[in-house]
Structure 1
């Protein structure tokens, strides 16, 4: 650097959040500060797609895989299959199948060859096909089919832009002294952009004939500038290669040999981690993951398609198979994944027995599945397991082609956007929304505003409150006790909660600091004025507000708000916060180790510099929150601009459900859910991973240049001839509308609070207790004669007819009441139904692992608490064990949850998953803590069931009593029975003290 001052300036500018060297930018005002639909090229059909799949040998082993994990098998590709599907002509090349050694190398070689053939087609100039009807339509059209704009120049708009350039030039004269200043550069960029806008407007009367360059068919009349956006170029237009679960599985196999591709000098990835890629570009090829659009198994997708599988059917018909054969293979096949451990297996002349179809990863297949496999083997005359494998693999590719084709068709009919141009459903849905609404969303150009709203981003709330419930009502059958109060456990879920939030009035732009922190400091009258404005602003007001506040909840509100304190906050819970019950568990279970991690906590302590949406503030004040100080006020223009998009998808989903079209119903449901995610993207977390060949000195020099960069984090050899470099992002532009995401999150929480306090507490009062909450659902206990009758009286709140009205609450166990429920901690709960069936949620552990753990763990509990005579468990089959559990009316999973909650036991489960290390796939078994009685989100009392929020006055009384020498148990009893002193019952409820310290 020429001087120390220059270096210091660079460091101040370049160091972003944390220790990473990074330039943090915002959109430039007047240049790129609005978000609108621009991807007109994605309205055109993709030329073709390549649909592909691998199968692998499962080479068994038993060795350490780091820490306590064990490697059970290594997965090495033994075969692949792909086909090329031309969209406009519906022609298919293939499927082509290879089974043998070096499958990944052969795949890369074959795809490179296929790419040459595809580009040979693209180089052919197809003359346009003209009909008299096409001529007539072209002559009469006055609108571009691509952008829907008129074929006319808006002279007023041109004049406005020319005046804008004149004004900017005047500003440039004043800044001419420093042509290197940021202001000068910004003004020059703005002139260039405005000039381009004028050119675009001037070309609006330039109507051209747009036709498909593959079929020659007329597509419509278009602006010349729009037509150019659909240009097809050989060796440049991306060709999608689609795998189902490319991100999690097939990408690793491709990376094993991708360096052998003739295009390997142009590898680019969109990385989530060093080895996990959402998409990968290798020259012209663009690998994408269909599971990023349809997040379910291929088996389920094929089932949802029903009989609508023309590509699969036509392929087998063309091979001469009968309709009976074709009908047999319209579902996903059955395959013995674990059994295929070498190529020698393909020579076997009989289908493996039933037990060999057991999968370590997925568990056992059904007898019906095995009979289906036998039927395929027999009907297709398989001579060996290799031929059966080939049918299975081809069928996977053909079914995925049918699924993707139908998905494309639905998307094109709905939005005129081809998913093949995208990498995920959120990106597709976001463009769909921008295109449908025509909205222009203003982005922040003020860093203070961006940072202010970032503080309002608080995710979904999940927590256990009252940790065990037992119901008592007539629908429970013989276990109902009429001598005790009638009570119910209700599990309700808000239908498409974020869809409801997105239907409300949301920010759209015109952000403005109404008053600064500096001005408001020490001016209580000004603070009261703005608080009053916020409390009076209507939900559908043209302008909305975000406020920064300091606030508290008076002690007299604590008992009422105890189950669900308003204004949740991200807090790092310290060890000194824990109740004696929790502290003892930490000592006993974790040997005193305690990690202070930030969590979303509903508590009753003070809020300092809390950024909140005005509608949330209104309701929380109604519940008793006292605002002590208003620190900042940001206003914005708002409207329900997103509601038409949500309503349309909801309506289409309802129509699809009534027609029995599950595939279509899922599509519209996922579109609404996916749209929200694009408002909450954190661009600071984007990864920059470079994949390079490592074959010669030139490659080595290229890698060393990466190592020398100050952005270099680490690098690693990936296989023999591929190397990866993890780089820090040189710069990030904060160009996402986070104020929309923050508002949707805040308003969605408001909807849940309004239900809890406006309905549940209003109707049942102290006879209702909250057991568990998870973002959009509640499990609560209420004493009432008939909770279903209560629901039926409120059709405005409850959905009891199966429709999908956003925001309404639906019963999660219709017709089958919950008899007891356990709520251990966030994402960990279990309930028992009247028909003795059970449901559980345990995040991070597979259902298979939990089921096996429960089966293996419940016998000691039965022996110790339910049976008089000890049982030799080792001689008992799994079936006998389950039968014993049924006869003693004990469910394995229920016993596990019971012993965790009441016996303070910790349960570990085996989790089997496919992992990647240096892009080598392995089947890995890990032992995970599945259930643990420790929950640090609340103050747990000594019974292990009752909890209080942090900051509750009863916790403080308890602590004071213990300090005074009163034994723990007695102090807790007294604190729970204590009455609030009268001086606190009469505490002032006025906002903003006249004199602020």
Structure 2
């Protein structure tokens, strides 16, 4: 490290906050072991040797230069990685036998020049030629470890669809390579290529004209390209004066690379501007989202060290409810278009004034998980209540304040009374992860049911809601509270800090839960509302949604063994995939799992989100229309579809406008509904955008037919 100048020395001495994490330095008078890790040190650039700033000791030790160069390929998990893994990979992070998260390879930047040529600066060799390192003897400074990553894990969607979301000024790399306006306009659209037509290298050179449209057929999708896409290919061939298919192939590949570069750079800029994080240092979007949350909130999350607490919560994590209650329904109301305006297939769906008025309503909760994450969530001070405390526990009194600093996770026996069967048969409370009672069905599903529950674990807000709707608690088995400690003393808690490290922290007795995540949710909501490009809106939405993946899925530590024989002989052996006679991939059960993520966050968010859906169903729809007039048709986590018997469902929406986001309605809509509550958390949006739905038909979980307006 170079000696500090007077200005740098003064800056270091007067610095009160760490320039890396932004947290203050502890008092120099405090000499505890924990505080020593947070003391002020000089951080410097390990390449240039220059002073960068004052930092915590921990931050300084973790502030490292990446030891790899990220190489991004789009949808490589499904395609390219299968080619790399046999020939050039030195390390693999796999998701399963078929999909890989990352493939690492050593790449030699071989200039192909002698020392004399390098000194003279003249050579006929290609200075940009890259060779994969297999068993070559090369200098260490010529080799770069590369992590090949899948950009699809950050930006889900086809490259063509992603490129369409870019503004013209965002095609920076493409514009540099193709400054000609005519060429640029052609290149900014994803090209097409006759993959199955090419069955040899010779065809690339021998084919001197663009193959006919029929040769672009894909047996994978069982479709041919459209006439518009083929016309685009013809224009590219002519504009770039291609003489062989090999030249067209070069243009096609160059287009792919440039489009991916521009799309990923646009995504990277969104992440750096919003969260000051570089996505190139992450493997997947959920990991990036988690880091963004921890960095912005600076929250200290307690890691559970009691195995009973851990399993108590993990076995009770339930995802969103999805299912169909009634497979088919039709509407009958004056808003249905006249017969002559309907497609022939829907001509029978015209309004019949002699029958009862009925509407189909398809609503979706605005950012359901974001709304739940804005509520009070646990983060510190978990403990079991004693049997005496449980016997004196009053659920309705102690669980009625949703904004209290004290929360509970309860294990209870619940009785579902016979008198509730009819009222709750469409959407029963307290869904369970069970195997369907159908012959041949073995996969566990989340199923709402009317059975009594034994040792059912749920968040206190869900239990309070269920009791309000007449479910009865027969017995309280256990209660995990996140409450404040009764004695006033300082405690040591193992926490996950904003730098991702697990450390012991001094924590004063404090309330167990707060809305610590709300600032992060508000930041994303405001950024999304202010976003001017579709790409930025989509990026922020996915970052917020995928944050939950890290909130309940534990990271696994892979214990490696060298040699196929030892891995196959291991009791943890699962299966193997043979690529060739010298290469085999072996899948093993994990001998050790580290639960180093706060699973209670995912549990709480998933349970609280259900209270929003159940409240809308029971406290609004059923309360307003009654059980007979409102038929529940379908749900999928954050969406609900109803068949409602009423005079005018849009008039009802207008009367209860505070519950709805009507920003997607036309300003001159025929119902006179104002456009309000845009993207407001917890509000419900009409997915038909104010157009009357004609028919609902469900055939499977992947196939739903909705007839809306004239479509």
Q: Same fold (TM over 0.5)?
A: yes
Query: Which residue matches 1:791?
Result: 653
Query: Which residue matches 1:343?
Result: 201
Give distance in 1, aligned partners of 2:477 and 2:424: 25
Paired residues of 2:369 and 2:605 also in contact (CA < 8 A): yes
Query: Which residue matches 1:305?
Result: 166
Q: How much does 1:821 deviate? A: 1.0
Count of residues in correspondence between the two structures: 616
**Mapping 1:102-181, distance limit 5 Å:** 142-150=16-24, 152-155=25-28, 157-158=30-31, 161=32
SS at match of 1:475: coil
SS at match of 1:733: coil
Kindly name which structure, 1 or 2, has the bigger radius of gyration based on alpha carbons: 1
Give distance in 1, aligned partners of 2:261 and 2:679: 30
SS at match of 1:463: strand
SS at match of 2:355: coil
**Mapping 1:955-974, distance limit 5 Å:** none
User: Does residue 419 of the first structure (1) align with residue 279 of the second (2)?
Assistant: yes
Query: Which residue matches 1:275?
Result: 98
Give distance in 2, aligned partners of 1:533 and 1:787: 37
Q: 1:529 aligns with which of 393, 413, 417?
A: 393
Q: How much does 1:448 deviate? A: 1.2
Give distance in 1, aligned partners of 2:463 and 2:689: 35
SS at match of 1:364: coil
Query: Which residue matches 1:547?
Result: 410
Paired residues of 1:463 and 1:827 also in contact (CA < 8 A): no
**Mapping 1:711-722, distance limit 5 Å:** 711-722=572-583
Q: How much does 1:465 deviate? A: 0.6
Query: Which residue matches 1:509?
Result: 380
Gaps of 5+ in 1: 1-124, 162-193, 521-525, 576-592, 693-701, 838-997
**Mapping 1:587-666, distance limit 5 Å:** 594-636=440-482, 637-656=512-531, 659=532, 661-666=533-538
Deviations 1:14-50 (A, max 9, x none): xxxxxxxxxxxxxxxxxxxxxxxxxxxxxxxxxxxxx
Deviations 1:377-398 (A, max 9, x none): 1111111111111101011111
SS at match of 2:631: strand
Q: Relative to 1, partners in 2 of residues 1:211 and 1:304: Cα closer, same or farther, differing over 3 Å? A: farther
Q: Relative to 1, partners in 2 of residues 1:490 and 1:295: Cα closer, same or farther, differing over 3 Å? A: same
SS at match of 1:796: helix
SS at match of 1:627: strand
**Mapping 1:259-270, distance limit 5 Å:** 264=90, 267=91, 269-270=92-93
Give distance in 2, aligned partners of 1:327 and 1:136: 55
Give distance in 2, aligned partners of 1:688 and 1:487: 61
Q: How much does 1:337 deviate? A: 2.7
Deviations 1:595-629 (A, max 9, x none): 34432111111111111111111111111101111
Bigger mean CA deviation after superposition, 369-378 or 538-547: 369-378
Q: Relative to 1, partners in 2 of residues 1:534 and 1:719: Cα closer, same or farther, differing over 3 Å? A: farther
Q: How much does 1:433 deviate? A: 0.4
User: Does residue 768 of the first structure (1) align with residue 598 of the second (2)?
Assistant: no
Paired residues of 2:554 and 2:594 also in contact (CA < 8 A): no
Give distance in 2, aligned partners of 1:681 and 1:225: 26
Give distance in 1, aligned partners of 2:14 and 2:227: 63
Deviations 1:210-266 (A, max 9, x none): 45948x99865545764454444xxx812212111121111101012126xxxx4xx
User: Does residue 812 of the first structure (1) align with residue 671 of the second (2)?
Assistant: no
Q: How much does 1:683 deviate? A: 4.6
Query: Which residue matches 1:396?
Result: 256
Give distance in 1, aligned partners of 2:362 and 2:540: 25
Deviations 1:410-431 (A, max 9, x none): 2122222111111001101101
Query: Which residue matches 1:914?
Result: none
User: Does residue 703 of the first structure (1) align with residue 564 of the second (2)?
Assistant: yes
Q: How much does 1:800 deviate? A: 0.6
Paired residues of 1:774 and 1:826 also in contact (CA < 8 A): no
Query: Which residue matches 1:493?
Result: 364
Give distance in 2, aligned partners of 1:218 and 1:662: 41
Bigger mean CA deviation after superposition, 735-744 or 269-278: 269-278
Q: 1:246 aligns with which of 61, 76, 80?
A: 76
Query: Which residue matches 1:979?
Result: none
Give distance in 1, aligned partners of 2:7 and 2:607: 53
Give distance in 2, aligned partners of 1:689 and 1:606: 46
Paired residues of 1:456 and 1:611 also in contact (CA < 8 A): yes
Q: How much does 1:481 deviate? A: 0.6
Query: Which residue matches 2:355?
Result: 484
Query: Which residue matches 2:186?
Result: 328
Structure-1-length-normalised TM-score: 0.59
Paired residues of 2:85 and 2:103 also in contact (CA < 8 A): no
Give distance in 2, aligned partners of 1:533 and 1:388: 73
Q: Relative to 1, partners in 2 of residues 1:828 and 1:682: Cα closer, same or farther, differing over 3 Å? A: farther
Q: Relative to 1, partners in 2 of residues 1:546 and 1:287: Cα closer, same or farther, differing over 3 Å? A: same
Q: 1:380 aligns with which of 235, 240, 245?
A: 240
Query: Which residue matches 1:782?
Result: 644
Paired residues of 2:326 and 2:634 also in contact (CA < 8 A): yes
Structure-2-length-normalised TM-score: 0.81
Give distance in 2, aligned partners of 1:241 and 1:681: 27
User: Does residue 680 of the first structure (1) align with residue 514 of the second (2)?
Assistant: no
Bigger mean CA deviation after superposition, 641-650 or 332-341: 332-341
SS at match of 1:407: helix
Give distance in 2, aligned partners of 1:817 and 1:689: 59
Q: Relative to 1, partners in 2 of residues 1:644 and 1:706: Cα closer, same or farther, differing over 3 Å? A: same
Q: How much does 1:475 deviate? A: 1.8
Paired residues of 2:559 and 2:591 also in contact (CA < 8 A): no
SS at match of 2:104: strand
Q: Relative to 1, partners in 2 of residues 1:483 and 1:136: Cα closer, same or farther, differing over 3 Å? A: farther
Bigger mean CA deviation after superposition, 346-355 or 773-782: 346-355
Paired residues of 2:433 and 2:446 also in contact (CA < 8 A): yes
Gaps of 5+ in 2: 107-144, 339-349, 483-511, 665-677
Deviations 1:845-881 (A, max 9, x none): xxxxxxxxxxxxxxxxxxxxxxxxxxxxxxxxxxxxx
Give distance in 1, aligned partners of 2:393 and 2:436: 35
Q: How much does 1:640 deviate? A: 0.8
